[in-house]
Amino acid sequence: MSPDLPEATMGQSLSAWRKRGGAPGDPETDASMVTVQMAGGTPAVSPRSPRSPRSPRNASGAATNPLSVIPAKITSQVYTEENPPQDWCDVAFLIPHEALRHEMDAMLKAVQALDPDTSAKDLWKAKNFCDWYANSFYVNVHTHHHTEETIYFPWVKSRCSEEDYPEKTTEDHETLVAELDTIKNVVDMISSGNVPEAEVQGGVSGAIALLKEKIPAFVEHMSAHLKEEETLFPPILRKHFTFEEEERTVNRILKEGGLTQARLFLPPIILAM
């Protein structure tokens, strides 16, 4: 996508793909990809030729359509070969979450490779990681949660009863954001080379060791949170909303994020496909 692409164009083909219920790794989706959109955490791919949002089933309930989802390419703990994503209700959460999970997997591998006892000459590796965390991953996760809390979840609450709404997801956001901020403070210290003993013992080496402790814990908590959202929200969407109504909400998110957020979140979306 060109960085000069008009903002309005980004959402033009959002509807067809989300309504048909495609997903990352779907051969039909991959073969007919036209554009990739970013909607404040809800991107989509536009197909040239739509198909039914629900795949045919055999007697055991497994999908029989050879163009259905390839489960091996999906990192979700909710969707499997026996339970593939079915429609726009599943896709609404699956697509941004797939991107975040791929980013977290890369983050784990990167931080595991960092050596707390690295020499000053090789400190650039840790600083590169910190730059990526502070200016990409941190921003993407914060923005994803922010748009959920300020736009998407209030829209869901407008029809979902209090007893049916999973309030724990908001509580989880508060905890996860606090963990993100704690890690951000550590990466900022490593990037500056100034690690006060009052905050982290052992200087830069101690800060790197702390990252190797904090990041796996965050990934574990975030993964559980994504799984919970993918489990709880699709049934609510099916019960209370239409695709067209959800699309209008997504367009609000798209407009708020604009090209700035699209440039940050589109690369992990594409890499997850």
pLDDT score recorded for residue 61: 41
Q: Region 191-219: what's the mean pLDDT?
A: 93
d(CA 68, CA 71): 9
The pLDDT confidence band at residue 271, using thresholds 50, 70 and 90, is confident
pLDDT digits (tens, 9 = 90+) for 3-13: 443 444 334 43
pLDDT score at 59: 39
Answer whether residue 194 shows pLDDT above 50: yes
DSSP 162-221: TTTS-THHHHHHHHHHHHHHHHHHHHHHHHHT---TTTSTTHHHHHHHHHHHHHHHHHHH
Q: Which residues does residue 37 pair with via DSSP β-bridges, in sequence order?
A: 44
The pLDDT score that the predictor gives to residue 104 is 97
Taking residues 207-221, what's their average pLDDT? 97
Q: How far apart are CA 159 and CA 169, in angstroms?
A: 17
Alpha-carbon span 124 to 118, nearest angstrom: 10
Contacts of 120 (CB under 8 A, 6+ apart): none
| Domain 7-50+87-271 belongs in CATH node 1.10.10 | no
For the cut 50, the answer to whether the pLDDT of residue 67 exceeds it is no
User: Within 13 Å and on the Cβ side, how many CA atoms surround 125?
Assistant: 17
Strand partners, 57: 63
Q: How many CB atoms lie within 10 A of CB 251?
A: 18
Q: Of 77-86, 93-102, 127-136, 210-219, where does mean pLDDT reach its minimum? A: 77-86
Residue 223 predicted with pLDDT over 90: yes
Which pLDDT band, with edges at 50, 70 and 90, does 266 fall under? confident
Query: When comparing pLDDT for 29 and 128, which is higher?
Result: 128
Q: Average of pLDDT values for 203-226?
A: 97
* Residue 18 confidence class, pLDDT cut points 50, 70, 90: low
CA-to-CA separations, 73 to 77, 82, 84, 102, 271, in angstroms, rounded: 12, 14, 12, 11, 11
Residue among 113, 79, 17 at smallest CA distance from 226: 79
Give residue 55's identity as a one-letter amino acid code: S
When pLDDT is averaged across residues 185-202 and rounded to a whole number, the result is 92
Give the closest residue to 34 by CA, choosing from 51, 16, 52: 16
Mean pLDDT of 54-83: 57
- Residue 208 — very low, low, confident or very high, per pLDDT cuts 50/70/90? very high
Domain extent listing, the chain: 7-50+87-271
Please give the residue that has the higher pLDDT: either 21 or 50: 21
DSSP tag of 8: G
Average pLDDT, the chain: 78
Q: Could you read off the pLDDT of 132-158 as tens digits, one per residue?
A: 999 999 999 999 999 999 999 999 999
* pLDDT for position 232: 95
pLDDT of 55 > 80? The answer is: no
Strands (E), the chain: 36-37, 44-45
Tokens for 183, please give them: 């890690």
What sign results for the dihedral spanned by CA atoms 143, 73, 235, 166?
A: negative
